[in-house]
Structure 1
Amino acid sequence: MPRNILHIGAASRLALYDLEEIDRRLSGQGELNAQWMLIVKQALIVAANLADLEPSVRHLYKNRPALAAEFKNHEKAYGFAKYVRNILVGHVNDDLLAKAFEWKPELLQLLADNDDRTGFLINIFVLETALNTYVDQNENHLVFNGDTDLAYPPDWNRFLGFLEGVVRGGIAFSKLIVAAAQEDMPAPPEGDEHLLGYINAGRTTFARIKK
């Protein structure tokens, strides 16, 4: 079902709030650790969700070239975020895990341990595998220039810079969507119409929402 302007406004506000909080935490997070891993996963989920929202906001591009240009600036990054969300962060793909065992054979030893450090390394190695599988049919990387090894400082800094760009680009895009939606959405109800909304709220029933 196509999103109406209120739905677009709400979805973009959710994304903006999350991305601004992620950016705040990411700015103070210079160390490769478990907290960083959670930030990365959340950033990729929100960026991917914002990319999913984009087709429904294209009608807002008319007379708003800055909105279209902002998405275009980071379109490749959003595609990457959706890819990693779909094979790792949102769902763990069996083919990804098979490739991870091939890329990092030490995973076989790590899976036999139960401490926090090994759990973190398992996350890192599977994330690396996801990054390295984002290639074309000729095995050319679509975002980075070559394989990524997050334990290697230049690769770590490259990925961190990329992630910050995705998050801050998403913030800029979300702000423009919010502003456009606020221009087009109807004024909040007043008087009897406002009261009727609360009466209807009292009659609300809930059911499981289908995907």
Structure 2
Amino acid sequence: MEAAINSYLNEKGEQKVFETEIDFLYPPNQKQFYDFLGRVIEDAVAWLESAQAMVKSEINFHPRGEAQEMGAIAGQTNFNLDESSSFSYSEKHAIDRLASIPEKMRKMGVDEKTIKFYEDQFLK
């Protein structure tokens, strides 16, 4: 990574961002790099948060029950175009399937924190 950073030069042959060659093992350069990296991350998070707010303001979210029904129906799509798809929805069947997932997760070795998150999101 050092080589990539140090090869990023302007027309005068000077490092474009740090104005000096960077050595990660030299404490002042290390601090300079990590300060820069921290600012890049903060700027990226701020941009993502504003983009998220803008996108969310443009989306018409469906109520949870309606979204689950549409997802269950979409999941029945047969992508073999030579065959037809048949679509049906049973709320009881969907609830039973959702309720069976935590046990399957446990058998797969999923940690309890993740299972609890799933249960809080989908079973309450």
In structure 2, the residue matched to 1:83 is none
What is the correspondence of 1:34-183 to structure 2 with a 5 Å cutoff? 127-183=1-57
Structure 1 residues 193 and 141: CA distance shift in structure 2, 3 A: closer
Structure 1 residues 178 and 193: CA distance shift in structure 2, 3 A: closer
> Which structure 1 residue ranges, 4+ long, deviate > 3 Å from structure 2?
189-194
In structure 1, the residue matched to 2:95 is none
The one of 48, 72, 86 aligned to 1:198 = 72
Aligned to 1:186, the other structure's residue is in SS state: coil
Greater C-alpha Rg:
2
Structure with more of its chain in helix, by fraction: 1
How many residue pairs match? The answer is: 80
**CA RMSD across the alignment:** 2.4
Q: AA paired with 1:199?
A: I
**1:139 shift after superposition:** 0.9
**What TM-score, normalized to structure 2?**
0.55
Structure 1 residues 192 and 149: CA distance shift in structure 2, 3 A: closer
Q: For 2:41 and 2:30, how far apart are their aligned partners in 1? A: 17
Q: AA paired with 2:28?
A: P
**What TM-score, normalized to structure 1?**
0.34
Structure 1 residues 204 and 158: CA distance shift in structure 2, 3 A: farther
Q: Deviations over 1:33-83 (max 9, x none)?
A: xxxxxxxxxxxxxxxxxxxxxxxxxxxxxxxxxxxxxxxxxxxxxxxxxxx
Unmatched runs of 5 consecutive residues or more in structure 1: 1-126, 206-211
**1:194 shift after superposition:** 5.0
Aligned to 1:170, the other structure's residue is in SS state: helix
Q: AA paired with 1:176?
A: S
Q: For 1:192 and 1:170, how far apart are their aligned partners in 2? A: 34
The answer to which structure, 1 or 2, has the higher relative contact order (CA under 8 A, 6+ apart) is: 1
Q: Percent identity?
A: 25
